[in-house]
Amino acid sequence: MKKLVSVVLGVALLGTAAACGDGSAREADPGPSAVTTPTASTTTTSAPPPPPKPAGPLTGAQYQASLAKVDQQIATDLRGLTGAKSGDNLADAMDTLAESLNSTAAELALLKVQPNVAAAHKTLQTRLRAAAASLTGPQADDVDTNAKCGGVVYTSQKVQRKLTADLTGAIAPLRRFGLKFGTTLPDLGPEPADQRPSNGDVLVRSGSRGSGRLQVTNGTTDDVAVAIVTDGKPPSKPHLLVYVQAKKTATINRIGGKYHVFFKSGTDWNPKRRQFSAGCSFQKFDDGFGRNEAWKIDLQPTLLGNASTSDVDAF
């Protein structure tokens, strides 16, 4: 609109100037008309840039710098494992670390290294991918349950030990060429010594004794801890706690009063916590047992069984 108004004003001023010259208005000659001819524009599409060429061949110092970068990235991602406060936190940290290890392996594959270290370089990529697979395999599926069994710290340390074991195979081949890798991997020492109790070991006994007797056959493939719980008491405070190894039988004697039978199974027994640290489950027999009676039970589920069990909270 502003442009149109300014043109109209210009025409009016020209007419006034002509009238001032001879006192009469003159008809202005029509000016040349402007014709706008549309022009066709062409759009050019630029070709996508070519993929980056692998760098190299890298010198020893350049390759060592790349390895140091990998170590630093692992150290950063490990903070999620060491700082986890719950099973969910730990599972998320494992997913993040697995993605990072796979990405790192892919980035290393783009590097062009000296021929003499090519095999060690390939081994490093393989071990990184193997470590990532471990973090997203069965170990990841069980992490939440295991964190509830052995605790978050214990489970995190077990994951870290597995990570170190998976990547250790890449350290020696690189070291032969004076290259360092794995400087930030966790060093938690060896796995805790096996503290599996003997079959039939009585781990807890409290309260008055009686003449009750219970024979327990553990037909399952996992060790169990059988809790004899006095009627009205919680399973965390058993009258008796007896360890029964897989595929074995143990007899519990001198049980006092009416009671219920709870049992927990798993692996990696922790004597301090009186708890399995991995693969744990917790159950109870639905029916109670009378005072001074003798019973036999088999923990292996069967279609011919005459006693039902239910899952219970951890104890």
Summarize pLDDT for 105-139 with one digit per residue, the tens. 999 999 999 999 999 999 999 999 999 999 997 76
For residues 265 and 220, the answer to whether their CB atoms sit within 8 Å is yes
CATH class of the domain comprising 202-311: mainly beta
Report how far residue 238's alpha carbon sits from residue 263's, in angstroms, rounded to the nearest whole number: 11
Query: How big is the chain by its Cα radius of gyration, in Å?
Result: 40
Q: What is the DSSP string of 75-94?
A: HHHHHHHHT--SHHHHHHHH
- This prediction has a pTM of 0.68
Residue 140 has pLDDT above 70, yes or no: yes
Report how far residue 263's alpha carbon sits from residue 242's, in angstroms, rounded to the nearest whole number: 9
Residue 159 has pLDDT above 80, yes or no: yes
Mean of pLDDT over the chain = 84
Residue 16 has pLDDT above 50, yes or no: no
More confident residue, 4 or 185: 185
Percent of the chain clearing pLDDT 70 (strictly above): 82
What is the bridge-based pairing of β-strands 248-255 and 309-311?
A: unpaired
Tell the burial category of 229 from Cβ atoms under 10 Å away from its Cβ (0-12, 13-18, 19+).
buried
Report how far residue 112's alpha carbon sits from residue 212's, in angstroms, rounded to the nearest whole number: 75
Rounded to 10 deg, the angle between the 143-150 and 152-168 helix axes is: 120
The pLDDT score that the predictor gives to residue 29 is 43
Residue 298 φ then ψ, to 5°: -125, 125
For residues 265 and 250, the answer to whether their CB atoms sit within 8 Å is no
The pLDDT score that the predictor gives to residue 37 is 40
Residue 243 has pLDDT above 60, yes or no: yes
pLDDT band at 26 (very low <50, low <70, confident <90, very high): very low
Distances (CA, A) of 212 to 103, 133, 226, 285: 62, 51, 15, 17
Residue 251 has pLDDT above 90, yes or no: yes
Residue 41 has pLDDT above 50, yes or no: no
Summarize pLDDT for 164-206 with one digit per residue, the tens. 999 999 999 999 999 999 999 999 988 877 789 999 999 999 9
Provide the 8-state DSSP code for 277. Answer: E
Residue 214 has pLDDT above 60, yes or no: yes
The strand pairing partners of 294, in sequence order, are 213
**Which residues neighbour 171 within 8 Å (Cβ) at sequence distance 6 or greater?**
181, 182
Summarize pLDDT for 58-75 with one digit per residue, the tens. 999 999 999 999 999 999
**Which of 282, 273, 283, 73 shows the shortest CA–CA distance to 155?**
273
The pLDDT score that the predictor gives to residue 10 is 29
Summarize pLDDT for 275-305 with one digit per residue, the tens. 999 889 999 999 999 999 999 999 998 888 8
The pLDDT score that the predictor gives to residue 58 is 95
